[in-house]
A = this chain, B = another copy of it.
């Protein structure tokens, strides 16, 4: 930590800062400049936080130097992690050696629609099935998902297609139920800072897909992952899904730089959701290409057998020729990046 004194701070003000730092066992190095002094702090950063140094007289600013997250940081865990998703005997990897393609409908609407979407996903090369049984919707009048019935549909579609299931949980009270049916628990963008949910998910014993909050900084996102990790679960995959900006041409702005930035800071895998980032199906293929090329560990995409009748996000769901284009991209481009298709490394033991 670095404490920056204001130009009119007195020697007494400086001495008071030093004294408080030393009172909790830290050391303080004072550098007196022409205009102002700066004080470098060495010691246990948590104890410094409690000092509220910014409230002391003569203090202009306090800069944190180290990263505030630990368990998810790459600093003490330089090798990037692989997370395995699926039941024993069929575990799909998400990590640095593979490219994992996840697809499925935004919402589970019926057994037929779900199995049709799952078959579309599988034939396009997907190795994991996404689908929402609980939907967080901006309007209380919009379709909120089938709930437990949706989970049962997903479980039966897994049985018939062999695809492990990724599904969202929106309420801490549902975590146990969702974890019984799903192979991976998704925490959505609106819940990234729902700390009670994060902690519950951290205890559930299933891998977690943590979407970035609509306006979360990368640091806040990694702190949300830290909440999950702190409860003992390090099987976390991050998902960039666009941030909110002033640009109206796309629903969100895909922050493509976030992928290499996160990979430098954290050992966790990171994938991209081009469907929700853009909100337009014509951008899904080019953004998937960009995601693969930038080094993402996978993508998660909306597909639907009949977008015209979809109860959720129809305009971004792929089918037909668009899906065929996507299938070709995810089959060929990862090789250029020296990545295997996730299906090649499924753990079957």
Among B35, B43, B142, B261, which residue has its beta carbon within 8 angstroms of that of A283?
Answer: B261
Instruction: Determine whether the beta carbon of B255 is less than 8 Å from that of A35.
Output: no
Nearest residue in B to A337 (C-beta to C-beta)? Answer: B289
Give complex CA distance A258, B256 in Å: 12
Nearest residue in B to A256 (C-beta to C-beta)? Answer: B256
Give complex CA distance A314, B51 in Å: 10
Other A-B contacts than A55-B314, A137-B195, A254-B255, 6 sampled, CB-CB below 8 A, are A140-B195, A172-B172, A172-B173, A215-B244, A250-B257, A287-B294
Q: Does A87 contact B (CB under 8 A)?
A: no
A residues 291-347 in Cβ contact with B at 8 Å:
291-295, 307-311, 314-315, 317, 332-333, 336-337
Residues of B within 8 A of A65 (CB): 4, 33, 36, 38
Known: A42-B31, A55-B315. A255 touches B257 (CB 8 A): no
Known: A55-B315, A215-B215, A261-B249. A138 touches B193 (CB 8 A): yes
Instruction: Determine whether the beta carbon of B249 is less than 8 Å from that of A136.
Output: no
Give complex CA distance A332, B333 in Å: 12
User: Per-residue 0/1 for A41-59: is the Cβ within 8 Å of any B Cβ (1 yes, 0 no)?
Assistant: 1110010011110111000
Counting from the closest, the 5 A-B pairs by CB-CB distance are A31-B40, A293-B293, A215-B215, A29-B31, A171-B196
Q: Does A12 contact B (CB under 8 A)?
A: no
Residues of B within 8 A of A148 (CB): none
Residues of B within 8 A of A214 (CB): 215
Q: Does A223 contact B (CB under 8 A)?
A: yes
Copy count, this protein chain = 4
Nearest residue in B to A289 (C-beta to C-beta)? Answer: B293
A159 → chain B closest CB, angstroms: 29
Residues of B within 8 A of A218 (CB): 247, 249
A residues 132-182 in Cβ contact with B at 8 Å:
136-142, 170-173
A314 → chain B closest CB, angstroms: 4
Q: Does A230 contact B (CB under 8 A)?
A: yes
User: Per-residue 0/1 for A194-225: is the Cβ within 8 Å of any B Cβ (1 yes, 0 no)?
Assistant: 11100000000000000000110111100100
Among B34, B246, B291, B307, which residue has its beta carbon within 8 angstroms of that of A217?
Answer: B246
Give complex CA distance A137, B245 in Å: 23
Instruction: Determine whether the beta carbon of B293 is less than 8 Å from that of A52.
Output: no
Instruction: Determine whether the beta carbon of A190 is less than 8 Å from that of B194.
Output: yes
Among B68, B248, B257, B292, which residue has its beta carbon within 8 angstroms of that of A277?
Answer: B257
